[in-house]
Amino acid sequence: HVQLVESGGGSVQAGGSLRLSCEASGPTTSTRKFDCRAWFRQAPGKEREGTAVIDYAGYSTDYADSVKGRFTISQDNSNNTLWLQMNALNPEDTAVYYCAAAPVRCTILAGAWRQGRLNAFNYRGQGTQVTVS
């Protein structure tokens, strides 16, 4: 089965940058499995938040208001890798970050993403911790 594995998390001082990666393994020969890919995050005591999303077909993106202008989502479809470049980090960005993917277009999952519904995506990683101090 398809597995997603995040990496790149860690501890950083406010104002710093991190780049998260999400690699897919398993039966990924069909690119339709990843029509929509996204990042979510969940901070302690807070609800999960859809952070960034990218559409495989159109390369369109969307971001949570809290990260617009600071975070950039990108992907390499040739090897099914997803990234999240995070700049100008602040303590409010401290959270566990999850990557997710689904075999449907992002236009269908847009509502679920905005609501932070990670489980709406068929494939989900285990998360990587980001701590900003």
pLDDT at 123 exceeding the cut of 70: yes
Q: For 109, how many CA atoms within 13 A lie in the half-sphere containing its CB?
A: 29
Q: What is the pLDDT of residues 46-104, one digit of tens each?
A: 999 999 999 987 579 999 999 999 999 999 888 889 999 999 999 999 999 999 999 99
- Other C-beta atoms closer than 10 Å to the C-beta of 133 total 11
Interatomic CA distance for residues 24 and 4, integer angstroms: 5
Q: What is the pLDDT of residues 12-46, one digit of tens each?
A: 999 999 999 999 988 766 666 789 999 999 999 99
Interatomic CA distance for residues 88 and 5, integer angstroms: 24
